Amino acid sequence: MTMVFTVKTPALFGDLKKGDKVRFVVVREDGKFVLMEIVPAAAR
């Protein structure tokens, strides 16, 4: 599945690679979905 989000801080991606399983937090700001947190799935 592909979804489009605005990213609050590009540094959130750190060492993530394409295909990594992740957990994330998205909030709605001014009508846009904004990625606030993203971590590898096993890290939480």
Tens-digit pLDDT profile for residues 1-44: 788 889 989 898 988 999 999 999 999 999 999 999 999 998 65
* Cα 12 from Cα 34, distance rounded (Å): 12
Farthest CA pair distance, the chain? 31
**What pLDDT score was predicted for residue 43?**
63
Q: What share of the chain is helix, strand, coil (3-state, %, to 5)?
A: 15, 45, 40
6, 24 contact by CB (below 8 A): no
In sequence order, the β-bridge partners of residue 26 are 35
